[in-house]
Chain A
Amino acid sequence: MDLAIDATGLRKRFGRTDVLAGLDLTVAAGTVFALLGPNGAGKTTTINILTTLVRPDEGTARVAGFDVVAAADEVKRRIALTGQSAAVDEVLTATENLVMLGRLSGLSRRDASTRAAELAERFGLSDAASRCVGTYSGGMRRRLDLALSLVVDVPVIFLDEPTTGLDTRSRQELWTLIRTLADAGTTVFLTTQYLEEADRLADRIAVLDGGRIAAEGTADELKARIGGDVVELRSHDGGLLRELPTDGSVHGLRAAIDELDRTPAAAAEGVQVTIRRPSLDDVFLAITAGGGTSDRTRDLIETK
């Protein structure tokens, strides 16, 4: 199996904080890998190291077979980065942005123009292609941002929180585009705070917590870690009052319901109990809270 990314023992310290405390990860070529974590978990630092922007204090990383420190230029020839703040030139038009990136990527003037028109079409920007990017909506900027990463085919693409701040529709559009990219064989490394995003896009997911990988696997494997179903207590207007994971046994379910029965709010009018499969959210909270993965009780009132 070819590894697109192979990082061992990455450490990075900014001032007094250890942003990365010995991070290991591998990503198989041609797969989509999601790095999941709360704000400040070190997601962007990981991307910055893998894209040669920042040197690790310790540890090594190879991207597309080349060391990110010793052979940074070779790595740069094989990657594209779509960063967190849209990396587009707001004064230029979409076409000018795309042509500029084409020229910087070694295309001739003519090839760069052809490619710009193709990408504008594919990313639904043709109508706006001759307008300054400053007038674009957030969704259009992100689409252009992603298009800029695809001006030439590179084997590994990094997306740092590609859909943060987008509305649902723009997010769905971007997901489709990223999926198409992955289906064509590009390795995609993305960071996200949204579990749904990781669930929808990624072949493998790693949860980053405290500068280390706290858990890794497919979405199903991670969900399986939490055990059985989750019992929820909801108020009459659908608000979540409390939820309890169970171990999947009849006994465990009964114990959970008994526990919910003791919740003062349970007696209120219209309160309902439902049972559901665990979501990645449950896994995420279970892992990043640092505790075990099952029979932990949590109050989730207003976590969103």
Chain B
Amino acid sequence: MKRSRMHSSRYALQEESDLMDQKPISMREAIGNALIEMGSTNKDLMVVGADTTESLHLMPFGEKYPGRLVNIGIAEQNMIGISSGLALSGKTVFCGTYMVFIERALDQIRNTLAYCKLNVKIIGAHTGISVGPDGGSHQTIEDIAMMRALANMRVLVPSDAYTARRLAIEAANEKGPFYIRLIRGTVPDVHGDQEIKIGKSSTLKDGKDVSIIACGIMVHEALKAAEMLSKEGISARVIDCYSIKPIDEETVLKAANETKGIVTAEDHNIYGGLGSAVAELLSRKRPTRIEMVAVNDTFGESGNPSELMIKYGISAQNIFDKAKELVK
């Protein structure tokens, strides 16, 4: 597949083909790099961080553009409030830290960003059980539900550095609030040159028997599960649903029409996340059998990401089992 297609964008960006040859980088680094590139043409682009600017790869933005990175210390409510003030003064703001900390600012997010449709993009880093050793206190599994329930808020979940970069650029080009959910680890890029658009999805593998609709790190588990299924003669479609709100209705409905059932997969609580979003859509428009691979309404604990994902039932094996049941 040729990878040099330029995406339509207000910003002139590095050829994505150049990026594809490099070894994988984290989603955080991909967004940090995209911010630096966008910042040279968009002088009103600003970044607000909360004592995690190095971890989130936001520091280089501040080094490159003095005064345009505001580090407000460990004070997430203030981070959202200051971001709002900047946005109300015409700035495009990316603010971010670990999502589990940002959740304490739900009031500020609701009553400023969402209520007034402010031009602030929240980068929520280190989400899900796959955060690993920091333990359950740091593994947010309710964030998609919280953000998705806010009017005006759009929710994006990249699955690799490529989608993280593309989605950050898309969000910057679109006025209004966004939540961009990142995982902690570094994963291989699984996208070719697919166009990444708000409200769309990527079908990474076509299939006719069952559809797996996944987001974030679970896209990688879904691809593994599809391999396992194909060995058993089951053809699984894998859809990377990186835009959870708005969701790609057309592709989800098509999957429901063309395959025998749907397995959703997310590193998030079973309530209110991707599975719910898919179920809400299909129950209204085309009732379909759905199985959900998600954290079963419990908090996590310390451990390695892969062992935790097995323990909490969000591994490729879980997707495989549920998909098999659906086609039985």
User: Are both chains from one complex?
Assistant: no
Q: Which residues of A contact B (CB under 8 A)?
A: none
